[in-house]
């Protein structure tokens, strides 16, 4: 989940209708790490929900409801990739992703950070780096401050098997 998710999620049904062979990638990370990342990021406009932990929790739950819906109505069109799995075994997860998309293996995918293309997102600096795991579990440092978020998300976290 990231702060642009509502736009992409709302379009998933249209994408499925217009492009029946389209593949949708649900790239996720631990919900508390994801929400913390949004909360810490200063967005230029349009993401005011990221500045309130309770609103952020509600947004995350809505994201999960929408993804469950798209998984149900577009069976086989959505692949969930977890960041934690990607940093643990980048090559296997990249192969899984390419296979899902019907694309051939290309070792350059492991060197995505070497791109020269322009990037205009909040993660513009991160995409210039190799995958790293230093942000995995970062939420635990802020457990006390994230209590309102954790209280709301705890049932979902347990249901999905995320560590608490």
Look at residues 38, 162, 80, 49 and name the one whose alpha carbon lies nearest to residue 154: 162
How far does Cα 96 stand from its chain's mean position?
17
Q: What is residue 16's predicted lDDT score, i.e. its pLDDT?
A: 83
Radius of gyration over alpha carbons of the chain, in Å? 16
Q: What is residue 158's predicted lDDT score, i.e. its pLDDT?
A: 95
Q: Which residues of 82-117 are buried (b: 16+ CB within 10 A; e: fewer)?
A: ebbebbeeeeebbeebeebeeeeeeeeeeeeeeeee
Longest alpha-carbon distance in the chain: 46
- Note if the pTM is more than 0.75: yes
Q: What is residue 120's predicted lDDT score, i.e. its pLDDT?
A: 72
CB atoms within 10 A of CB 47: 18
Q: What is residue 3's predicted lDDT score, i.e. its pLDDT?
A: 45
Spans in the chain with pLDDT lower than 50:
2-4
DSSP classification of residue 10: H
Q: What is residue 135's predicted lDDT score, i.e. its pLDDT?
A: 87
Look at residues 164, 163, 143, 160 and name the one whose alpha carbon lies nearest to residue 61: 160
Q: Which helix (H) or strand (E) holds 99?
A: helix 90-101
Domain of 121, CATH number, reads: 3.40.50.300
Q: Which helix (H) or strand (E) holds 26?
A: strand 24-28
Look at residues 115, 118, 90 and name the one whose alpha carbon lies nearest to residue 105: 90
Q: What domain range includes position 24?
A: 5-160
Phi, psi (rounded to 5 degrees) for 47: -125, 40
In terms of phi and psi (left: phi > 0; alpha: psi -120 to 50; beta: otherwise), the region of 126 is alpha
Q: What is residue 2's predicted lDDT score, i.e. its pLDDT?
A: 47
Domains contained in the chain, number = 1
């Amino acid at each position: 989940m990231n702060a642009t998710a509502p736009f992409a999620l709302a379009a998933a049904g249209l994408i499925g209708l217009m492009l029946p062979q389209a593949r949708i990638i649900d790239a996720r990370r631990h919900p508390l790490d994801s929400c913390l990342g949004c909360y810490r990021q200063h967005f230029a406009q349009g993401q005011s929900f990221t500045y309130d932990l309770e609103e952020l929790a509600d947004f995350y739950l809505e994201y999960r409801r929408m993804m469950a819906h798209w998984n149900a109505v577009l069976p086989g069109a959505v692949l969930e990739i977890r960041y934690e799995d990607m940093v643990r075994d980048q090559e296997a997860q990249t192969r899984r992703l390419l296979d899902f998309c019907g694309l051939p293996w290309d070792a350059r995918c492991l060197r995505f950070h070497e791109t020269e293309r322009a990037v205009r997102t909040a993660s513009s600096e991160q995409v210039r780096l190799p995958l790293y795991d230093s942000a995995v579990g970062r939420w635990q440092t802020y457990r006390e401050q994230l209590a309102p978020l954790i209280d709301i998300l705890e049932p979902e976290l347990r249901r999905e098997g995320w560590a608490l």
